[in-house]
Amino acid sequence: MGSEVKPAKHGLRRHLNAGFVAGFLLVLLTYVIVSQQFAMETPTAVTSRAPRIDENESVTKARVETEKTEQEWQRPKDTSGAVSAEGFSKRDSTNAKPIENGKVVCSSNGFYSDTCDVDGDVRINGTALSVTLVPASRRSERRREWKIQPYPRRTVSGIAEVTVTRQQDQAAAPACTVTHGVPGVVFALGGLTGNYWHDFSDVLVPLFVASRRYGGEVQFLVSNIQPWWLGKYEAVVRRLSRYDAVDLDRDTEVRCFRRVTVGLRMHKEFSVKPELAPGGQRLTMADFAAFLRDTYALPRAAAAGAKRPRLVVIRRGHYRKIVNMDEVVRAAEAAGFEASVMSPRFDEAVEEVARRVNAFDAMVGVHGAGLTNAVFLPAGAVVIQVVPYGRLERMARADFGEPVADMGLRYMEYSVAADESTLLEMLGPEHQVVKDPEAVHRSGWDKVAEYYLGKQDVRINVARFAATLAAAFDHLRPSHS
C-alpha cells in the first residue's frame, strides 16, 4: 500500500531558535527587495519596514489597495461546486481507474495570488515542482500550462513557481510512486513569514480557508519549507492536516492525488471573504478565530459583561512606542478598566500569548504586528488601534480595522495628531513630514515608511483619548450584552 499515513511528530521545536535567526534574516532581506520593488510599482499600496525580532518585531509587508481584475484566467465558475473530501478518503491506493479526464481551474486574484484547483488524475513531482493532470483518454482540449507562485503574494520574490500542466494524453506521464487517499494542498513558506502579522495574513488564514473543509484529511506539500515555522504554528497546522507536511523541493517521489489545490488564496489582508471560500462553506474570519480558540483550548469564547473589564495595552519595544504608557494605563483605569501592559515576544510560544490575550476584554495598541494577537480575544471584545500620525488610516483599517471587525470584535480607532507625535519635536512644525503628510504620500512609499512608520513614537493625549476609552467601556457594559 503506497499511502502515507504517518503519526504526528513533535520534533520541530528544536528548529525554533535557528528559525528566528533564519526568519529574521529572511524578513530583512525581503524588506529591502519588497520595498524597492513596490515603491516603484505601487507607490501608495505597500507598507514595509525594517523588521526586528522580539518586541521590536514589526509589520513588514506588502499591501495592495486595489485588486487588479481578472487577467486572462478564469475565475472558478461556481465556488460551491467543489467536491467534498469524502470521495477521496476511502479510495483504493491503486491508481488503475481514473474516473475521467479531470479539470484544472485556475484563478487570479490580482496582486495577491494565483491558484489552481486540479481534479482528476493528478501527479506531483516535487523536485521538478510540477503538478500534472493526466487524462484517462486523449482529450479534445489542447495541452496547457500555468505557472503558480505558491506564496499568496505574487510580488514577493524568492519563491519558486510551480508548473501546473494539463496533459492532452498519457504520454510521458510519470508513474505514481506514492498514492494519496486524501486531497493535497501545495503552498510555499518563506516570503514575508517570520513577521507575526504576515504569518497569519499570508499563510495561516489562507491555509485555513484552503483546508478546513477536509477536517484534517488533507496532505500539505510545502515548497521552501521552514521547519521552525511549522514548529511555531504546529498546533494549528496539525489541526488542519493530520499528516506530516511533505518537503516538496526535496521530495523524490511522484505523488498522486485525486484533487490538489496549488497555491494559497488571500482574499484580503488578514481576513476572509466568505463568498470566496471553496466548497461553498462561507467561512468567516470569526470562524478562524473560533478555530484558534479551540486549537489552543482558550477558555473564553465571548467577552462577558464584567463589571471591571480587563484591558491590555500592547507595548512595542522599538518605533511606534507609546512613550507615556503609564498615563495611558491610568486613563484606562480611570475609564473603569482593569488595565495592564503586555509585551509580546516573537520567541514566546503562540499558545502562551494566546492564553494571556484571551483573558482580556479590550486591547489597545499602536499599528503594528502586536495587534495580530487580537485574534485570540473573546468574541465581542474591543480593539482600539492607535493610528500613528501621517494619514495612515487607510492602511491601518485594511490591516487591522476590517480584520478585527470580521473576527466579531468591536473595532475602534484613535488617530494621533501632530502634537502627539514625536515627529513634531524631532523635525519641527515646518518640516514637510509634519506639515503636509499628503505631500509625503505623493512622494512615494519610502518616506512614508521611513518617517511615519519607522521614526515615530506617540505621546497619547489622554484627555482626548478618554472619549475612546469611555466608548470602549460602554460597549462592554453588561447591559449591552
Beta partners for residue 164, in sequence order: 131, 146
Q: How far apart are CA 252 and CA 360, in angstroms?
A: 48
Regarding 54 and contact with ligand NAG (CB under 6 A), the answer is yes
Q: Of the candidates 284, 317, 324, 415, which one interacts with ligand NAG according to CB under 6 A? A: 317
- How far apart are CB 67 and ligand NAG at their closest, in Å? 34
Q: Grid coordinates representing 116?
A: 489552481
* Cβ distance to ligand NAG smaller for residue 126 or 263: 126
- Given 109, 125, 201, 373, the residue binding ligand NAG (CB under 6 A): 125
383 binds ligand NAG (CB under 6 A): no
Task: Say if CB 254 and CB 174 are below 8 A apart.
Answer: yes
Identify which range of 121-129, 197-205, 377-385, 434-442 contacts ligand NAG by CB under 6 A. Answer: 121-129
Asked if 56 and 318 count as a contact pair (C-beta separation under 8 A), the reply is yes
| Rounded least distance, CB 58 to ligand NAG, Å | 10
* Binding of ligand NAG by 316 (CB under 6 A): no
Choose, by CB under 6 A, the member of 127, 170, 443, 481 that binds ligand NAG: 127
Residue from 2, 43, 76, 174 binding ligand NAG (CB under 6 A)? 174
Q: Which residues contact 335 (CB under 8 A, 6 or more apart)?
A: 466, 469, 470, 472, 473
66 contributes a contact to ligand NAG by CB under 6 A: no
CB of 255 to ligand NAG, least distance (A): 10
Question: What are the residues whose beta carbons fall under 8 Å from the beta carbon of 7, sequence distance 6 or more?
Answer: none
Contact predicate 48/29, CB 8 Å: no
Contact 59, 314 (CB under 8 A): no
The answer to whether 118 touches 260, Cβ cutoff 8 Å, is: yes
Other Cβ atoms within 10 Å of 140 Cβ, number: 8
Straight-line distance from the first to the last Cα atom of the chain, in angstroms, rounded to the nearest whole number: 55
Integer Cα distance of 257 and 183 in angstroms: 6
Looking at residue 447, the DSSP 8-state letter turns out to be: H
Listed ranges 3-11, 47-55, 235-243, 277-285: which one lies at the site for ligand NAG (CB under 6 A)? 47-55
Q: Which stretch binds ligand NAG (CB under 6 A): 22-30, 59-67, 122-130, 472-480?
A: 122-130
Considering only residues 249 through 308, tell me which ones interact with ligand NAG, judged by CB under 6 A: 254
To ligand NAG, the closest distance from the beta carbon of 215 in angstroms equals 31
The C-alpha atoms of residue 293 and residue 291 are separated, in whole angstroms, by 5
Beta bridge partners of 131: 124, 164
Got the DSSP string for 183-195?
-EEEEE--TTTTS
CB of 352 to ligand NAG, least distance (A): 18
Position 422 contacts ligand NAG (CB under 6 A): no
Smallest gap from residue 134 Cβ to ligand NAG (A): 13
Q: Does 323 bind ligand NAG (CB under 6 A)?
A: no
Examine residue 75 and tell whether it contacts ligand NAG (CB under 6 A).
no
Is 455 near ligand NAG (CB under 6 A)? no
Question: Which residue sits closest to ligand NAG, CB atoms considered?
Answer: 128
Beta-strand pair 162-166/144-148: antiparallel
Q: Applying CB under 6 A, does 231 fall inside the site for ligand NAG?
A: no
Size of the site for ligand NAG (CB under 6 A): 12
Q: Which residues contribute to the site for ligand NAG (CB under 6 A)? A: 52-56, 125, 127-128, 174, 254, 317-318
